């Protein structure tokens, strides 16, 4: 299973590189850091996306990593190859997610919204007496948003258990290394005290990701998983380099990347 | 008009929320959310249906996000709070999570215009129509009495659109007596001149033109603007817009935009608040007086327009 997921992840990273190189636009670094999380969602059983009546709702809050999701949705048959090929074209798939795309549950582009939205979705599961989950992948930089903290407190107060937030903790924002920010010192202290299931994991280890999500689901608590990741994961010269937030590789760089990922 | 002697009249908020309360008892999918504001009609909802009433505390951005998450799962969500805080504080959340997702969330902004005059400029809602009008999916209602407020609740409960309902507080004269929602209403018949007004300021308008040859139309639906009005007023010469809102972006702007698009020519006169900060403290009546919106000032201003012909 683990090996199979790793192969899928590498294939997705290769496809991302191909598309970004061809279209000359995209966010490689922050997409590569969350590929393994997304693969765990869609291929590792973390997300129940195919239930006919009440599937889990998934929000990729860091929507600038949309290309990985487009590739997955295409692979799962939810969007066509033509649709995927429209990435970067006028009127085609864009740099953020849109609910007009089959398989996309929420628009993205503005940060700090998804946790509160998930609170509403989780609250609806109480009213409908159903057990679907609201799952979101947040960027680490967006955890500065006040609305994230408003949501954290509200979710505690209302004991909204059908909710899992996973932070892609790649430690790089657009302009800075976010290693020792107060927000990531506060989260591990505050969340357990506020009744959350809190866990830090290696965000590139499939067994750790999948078991953390399974633990979340049986915890009877709202869950916050900090997945430690590497921006640009999988390509040596991209890893932990700020410039790969939205740079496009040259032909020589591409050759090296292809070799490393194959 | 004597307000207190009318047994059928009530606080506009209660007229609206009594209906919401009764509907929510029969419909588990109605959820009411507030930023810690008390509404008499909803006190029982808190205890009878705790899952259908959410007090998010003083956290308006989160309130909008929660509402949109609920609405995306088929819930009918009604939000209420003091108007400026549920409009400006969380504007991006409204634009992004309610409007770009086109979800059936109704935002009730309590305290239209200067309803909360003494609480100061942070509590005034005199640019709210302007900013809400900029959101493509948002419909805007501005009831003027308890009757129109009640029918606005029927409309929002039976629609799938985002709504902003601009709600005055307290008792106001009952000027409508209708059995259904109406987007506008002719309050006083007209020949060559007509006043368009909206919200409870219309009571000052009514009192200022009692003996004048000028009509009054009350606009409840500011957006979509009821363009059928243009058929009714097509032969009118002077259109005076009187509103408890900035003249920038309010009813006057909306009317002027529509008239321009339809290539219709009127002498349009805008009466409202100037586009400048109001930083003083005082009563609503004092502000009306300062801004030329009291009955005496309006009488003079309307006379001046009519006599200039």
Give the CATH number for residue B146: 3.40.50.970
Q: CA-CA distance, B113 to B38, in Å (whole number)? A: 19
- The whole-model pTM stands at 0.95
pLDDT of residue B2: 47
Q: Which of A58, A120, A138 to mutate to test the interface with B (most CBs of B within 10 A)?
A: A120
pLDDT tens digits, A70-85:
999 999 999 999 999 9
Q: CA-CA distance, A66 to A58, in Å (whole number)? A: 13
As a whole number, mean pLDDT of residues A32-49 equals: 97
Q: Are residues B282 and B136 in the same domain?
A: no
How close, in Å, is residue A97 to chain B by CA atoms? 12
**Domain-embedded: residue B177:** no
ipTM: 0.94
Q: Residue B72 and residue A57: Cβ atoms within 8 Å?
A: yes
Q: Are residues B114 and B206 in the same domain?
A: no
**Domain-embedded: residue B97:** yes
Q: Are residues B237 and B157 in the same domain?
A: no
Total number of domains in chain B? 2
Closest CB from B59, B70, B100 relative to A150: B59
Tell me which of A96-100, A112-116, B2-6, B188-192 is least confident: B2-6
**Domain-embedded: residue B1:** no
As a whole number, mean pLDDT of residues A221-243 equals: 94
pLDDT tens digits, A187-229:
999 999 999 999 999 999 999 999 999 999 999 999 999 999 9
User: Which residues sit opposite B217 in a β-bridge?
Assistant: B186, B196
The domain that contains B213 carries what CATH number? 3.40.50.920
Q: Are residues B28 and B57 in the same domain?
A: yes
Q: Are residues B154 and B273 in the same domain?
A: no
- Residue where one domain finishes, among candidates B142, B167, B192: B167
**Domain-embedded: residue B268:** yes
Q: Which of B66, B79, B93, B94 to mutate to test the interface with A (most CBs of A within 10 A)?
A: B66
Q: Are residues B162 and B188 in the same domain?
A: no
- CB-based contact (8 Å) between B121 and chain A? no
- Residue where one domain finishes, among candidates B135, B167, B199: B167
pLDDT of residue B1: 46
- Residue where one domain finishes, among candidates B139, B167, B195: B167
Closest CA in chain B for residue A53:
B73
As a whole number, mean pLDDT of residues A92-120 equals: 98
Q: Are residues B280 and B253 in the same domain?
A: yes
Q: Are residues B44 and B69 in the same domain?
A: yes
Q: Are residues B158 and B188 in the same domain?
A: no
* Residues of chain B neighbouring A158 (CB-CB closer than 8 A): 54
- CB-based contact (8 Å) between A54 and chain B? no
Closest CB from A57, A119, A146 relative to B66: A119
pLDDT of residue B200: 98
| Nearest alpha-carbon partner for B165 in B81, B231, B93 | B81
CATH, domain A2-261, list 3.40.50.970, 3.40.30.10, 3.30.420.40, 3.40.50.300: 3.40.50.970
Domain ranges in chain A? 2-261
pLDDT mean for each 10 residues of chain B (309 residues): 66 96 96 93 89 96 98 98 98 98 98 96 97 98 98 97 97 95 97 97 98 96 97 96 98 98 96 95 97 98 90
**Domain-embedded: residue B135:** yes
Q: Are residues B21 and B158 in the same domain?
A: yes
**Domain-embedded: residue B178:** no
pLDDT of residue A243: 85
* Residues of chain B neighbouring A119 (CB-CB closer than 8 A): 62, 65-66, 69
Residue A142 pLDDT exceeds 90: yes
Domain that holds residue B298: 184-307
Closest CB from B57, B70, B92 relative to A120: B70
Cβ–Cβ pairs < 8 A, chains A and B: 93
Closest CA in chain B for residue A127:
B51
Closest CA in chain B for residue A107:
B101
User: Which residues sit opposite B196 in a β-bridge?
Assistant: B217, B241
Q: Which of B68, B73, B91 to mutate to test the interface with A (most CBs of A within 10 A)?
A: B73
**Domain-embedded: residue B176:** no
**Domain-embedded: residue B131:** yes
Q: CA-CA distance, A175 to A177, in Å (whole number)? A: 7
């Amino acid at each position: 299973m683990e090996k199979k997921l790793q192969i899928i992840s590498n294939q997705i990273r290769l496809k991302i590189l191909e598309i970004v190189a061809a279209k000359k636009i995209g966010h490689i670094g922050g997409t590569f850091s969350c590929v393994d999380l997304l693969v765990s969602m869609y291929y590792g059983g973390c997300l129940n996306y195919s239930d006919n009546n009440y599937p889990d709702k998934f929000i990729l809050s860091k929507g600038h990593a949309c290309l990985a999701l487009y590739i997955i949705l295409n692979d799962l048959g939810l969007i066509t190859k033509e649709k995927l090929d429209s990435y970067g074209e006028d009127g085609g798939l864009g740099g953020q997610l849109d609910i007009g795309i089959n398989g996309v549950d929420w628009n993205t582009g503005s940060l700090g919204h998804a946790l509160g939205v998930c609170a509403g979705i989780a609250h609806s599961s109480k009213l409908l007496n159903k057990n679907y989950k609201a799952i979101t992948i947040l960027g680490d930089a967006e955890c500065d948003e006040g609305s994230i903290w408003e949501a954290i407190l509200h979710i505690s107060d209302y004991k909204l258990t059908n909710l899992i937030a996973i932070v892609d903790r790649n430690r790089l924002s657009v302009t800075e290394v976010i290693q020792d920010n107060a927000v990531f010192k506060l989260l591990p202290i505050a969340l357990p005290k506020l009744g959350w299931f809190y866990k830090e994991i290696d965000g590139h280890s499939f067994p750790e990701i999948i078991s953390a999500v399974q633990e979340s689901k049986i915890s009877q608590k709202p869950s916050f998983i900090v997945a430690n990741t590497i921006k640009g994961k999988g390509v040596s010269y991209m890893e932990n380099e700020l410039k790969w937030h939205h740079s496009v590789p040259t032909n020589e760089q591409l050759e090296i990347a292809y070799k490393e990922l194959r | 008009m004597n307000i207190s002697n009318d047994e059928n009249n009530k606080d506009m908020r209660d007229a609206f929320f009594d209906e919401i309360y009764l509907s929510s008892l029969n419909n588990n999918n109605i959820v009411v959310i507030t930023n810690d504001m008390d509404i008499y009609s909803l006190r029982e909802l808190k205890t009878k249906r705790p899952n259908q009433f959410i007090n998010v505390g003083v956290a308006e951005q989160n309130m909008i996000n929660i509402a949109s998450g609920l609405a995306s799962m088929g819930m009918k969500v009604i939000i209420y709070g003091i108007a400026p805080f549920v409009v400006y504080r969380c504007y991006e959340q409204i634009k992004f999570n309610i409007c770009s997702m086109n979800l059936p969330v109704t935002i009730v902004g309590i305290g239209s215009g200067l309803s909360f005059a003494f609480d100061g400029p942070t509590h005034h809602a005199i640019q709210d129509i302007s900013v809400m009008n900029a959101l493509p999916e948002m419909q805007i209602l501005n009831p003027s009495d308890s009757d129109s407020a009640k029918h606005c609740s029927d409309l929002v409960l039976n629609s799938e659109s985002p709504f902003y309902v601009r709600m005055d507080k307290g008792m106001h004269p009952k000027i409508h007596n209708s059995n259904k929602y109406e987007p506008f209403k002719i309050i006083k018949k007209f020949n060559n001149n007509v006043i368009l007004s909206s919200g409870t300021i219309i009571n000052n308008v009514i009192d200022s033109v009692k003996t004048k040859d000028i009509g009054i139309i009350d606009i409840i639906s500011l957006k979509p603007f009821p363009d059928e009005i243009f058929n009714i007023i097509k032969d009118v010469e002077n259109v005076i817009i009187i509103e408890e809102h900035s003249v920038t972006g309010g009813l006057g702007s909306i009317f002027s935009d529509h008239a321009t698009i339809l290539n219709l020519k009127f002498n349009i006169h805008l009466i409202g608040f100037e586009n400048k900060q109001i930083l003083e403290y005082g009563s609503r009546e004092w502000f009306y007086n300062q801004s030329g919106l009291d009955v005496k000032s309006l009488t003079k201003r309307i006379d001046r327009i009519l006599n200039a012909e």
